[in-house]
Amino acid sequence: MRLTVRGETALVFDDGSPVRAASAVAPFGDGWLIAQDDATHAAWRRPGSTVPVRVIDPVEGFDVFSSAAGTKHLKPDFEAAFPIGDGVLLLGSGSTAARMRASLVTPAGFTVTDLSPLYHRLAAAFGLPLEHLNLEGACAAGDRMRWFHRGATTLCADVELVDGRPTEIAGVRRYDLGRVGGVPLAVTDAVALGDGRVLVSAAAEDTPNPVDDGPVVGAALALLDDDRVLGTVALPAETKVEGLTVRATTAGGLRLLAVVDADDPVIPSRELDLDLSW
């Protein structure tokens, strides 16, 4: 595979405020819905405009969350997104009760569902303590969802979808995406390609556990087919892609949209325009 960066754009709302902590992206209406993992609003990026869209009610009166404000433990931490019907399903990362919810966002509004029992079953199926569960990527493949945990070993659960709602675990997969400087590549997002294959973004993040952040020493895209890793291609150095989706299919591959978190609430997240060729 070969990757070309066509362009890079700072993500800001129409009022000039930054899109914070971009963590997932999916097609929505005539544009893209970009989750902010530390806020109750997503960004609806449309031609010529980027506006906030509420995806969950305020949590204990707060709409944004941070360690500095002592509210990080309250954030919904929506880290995965994929289209369902005319909407987008956002999924929390797990590890705390606040992060075990899903929000189905449509042009008419949002519906939040507590999925705590499913997250508990996932942690058990993966053999992980609940506090180390960190589900950062998901995509729909037919009537199932493939849900990826970020860890030294890439774990993926196949989960049944009933009326767009994740229900029962149908199986668990494990992948080895390789290492960069001795640090394992771990999945940060996933997108289904419609032919059974899944493209994932991954980062080699030097951290002692799956939940805490650390220095990013490398990043890549990886192409998966069933239980196999077909190939990988490096992303620009220290580029931790948090959200990935397909803009279009090209003659030789794919045109991709990726979002990158600046890890600073006052610095806008970035949007990358990528060409991937086979």
Q: Does residue 104 form part of some domain?
A: yes
Contacts of 61 (CB under 8 A, 6+ apart): none
Q: Does residue 2 form part of some domain?
A: no
Region 24-29: mean pLDDT is 97
Q: Which domain holds residue 163?
A: 9-277
What are 167-211's pLDDT values in tens digits?
999 999 999 999 999 999 999 999 999 888 999 999 999 988 888
Distance between CA atoms of residues 93 and 241, nearest Å? 16
Region 206-218: mean pLDDT is 85
Q: Does residue 4 form part of some domain?
A: no
The conformation of residue 64, written as its DSSP 8-state character, comes to: B
pLDDT surpassing 90 at residue 28: yes
Confidence of residue 122 (pLDDT cuts 50, 70, 90): very high
- Look at the chain and report how many structural domains it folds into: 1
What are 36-93's pLDDT values in tens digits?
999 999 999 999 999 999 999 999 999 999 988 999 999 999 999 999 999 999 999 9
Instruction: Say what the pLDDT of residue 145 is.
Output: 96
Q: Does residue 1 form part of some domain?
A: no
Helix runs in the chain, H state only: 116-126
What the block records as the tokens of 229 is 């890793």
Distance between CA atoms of residues 239 and 116, nearest Å? 31
The domain spanning residue 259 has which CATH number? Answer: 2.120.10.100
pTM for the model stands at: 0.96
